[in-house]
Amino acid sequence: MSTKNYLQVGDKAPDFSATAVHQQEFKKVSLSHYLGKYLILLFYPLDFTFVCPTEIIAFSDKYDDINALNTEILGISVDSEYCHLAWTQMDPDSGGVGDLKYPLVSDLNKEISLSYNILNHEGKALRGLFIIDDLGYIQHLTVNNLDVGRNVSETIRILKAIQYVRNNPDEVCPANWQPGDSTIKSTLNPSKEYFKSI
């Protein structure tokens, strides 16, 4: 049996400090800086690739909706901050991502990717997505292979569900739940009422 310590939902998110690019400037970011807010960590393999810009731009396009939920985003790859800067200075029709509404973090030494257990054998980060709550605990994680992009709308749906059950601790969200849908009371007899209603 492997003794490697894999992260799970409910674990404290590993802290880190690194250089990021945002609004054409370098800045230091750390996980602890975001305590008090929810945070989406958006790991991706490399700048100047094929699937990555579609995800990075899609999350930037929905940034205002995500930010309205007391949530920030950090994109993270094993590229240098200089590579991130060059990528954000290029328009999407030229292979770049243009100005983004959230920072891209440099994980050149791969320490962040290792601490989140998403570094593959080629030394690239898999498409790991972590939702970290305002207290610094992992509430959701998903990892895709390099060829499959993620769904921003589903990330937002999950984020809303996480926040809903935090604010309503006696309720749970069923499959395909959307804000405004019925929830289930997390005790046996009241839960039967939900199933009678569907």
pLDDT digits (tens, 9 = 90+) for 79-137: 999 999 999 999 999 989 999 999 999 999 999 999 999 999 999 999 999 999 999 99
Residue 173 falls in the annotated catalytic set:
no
**pLDDT for 3:** 41
Reading the block at residue 188, the tokens are: 């046996």
DSSP per-residue letters across the chain: --------TTSBPPP-EEEEEETTEEEEEEGGGGTTSEEEEEE-S-SSSSHHHHHHHHHHHTHHHHHTTTEEEEEEESS-HHHHHHHHTS-GGGT---S-SS-EEE-TT-HHHHHTT-B-TTS-B-EEEEEE-TTSBEEEEEEE-TT----HHHHHHHHHHHHHHHH-TTEE--TT--TTS--EESSHHHHHHHHHH-
**pLDDT for 187:** 74
Four-residue CA torsion sign, 152, 66, 11, 191: negative
**pLDDT for 104:** 98
**pLDDT for 186:** 79
pLDDT value at 159 more than 90: yes
| Contact (CB, 8 A) for 99 and 45 | no
| Contact (CB, 8 A) for 198 and 191 | no
Reported confidence tier of residue 2, pLDDT bands at 50, 70, 90: very low
Reported confidence tier of residue 6, pLDDT bands at 50, 70, 90: confident
| Contact (CB, 8 A) for 197 and 184 | no
**pLDDT for 100:** 97
- The domains of the chain, with CATH numbers, are 17-151 (3.40.30.10)
pLDDT digits (tens, 9 = 90+) for 28-84: 999 999 999 999 999 999 999 999 999 999 999 999 999 999 999 999 999 999 999
Stated pTM of the model: 0.92
Q: CA 99 → CA 8, 18, 93, 148, 155, distances in Å? A: 33, 20, 13, 24, 22
- Interstrand relation of 138-144 and 127-132 (parallel, antiparallel or unpaired): antiparallel
> Which entry of 20, 31, 42, 52 is annotated as an active-site residue?
52
Distance CA 30, CA 68 (A): 21
Reported confidence tier of residue 193, pLDDT bands at 50, 70, 90: low
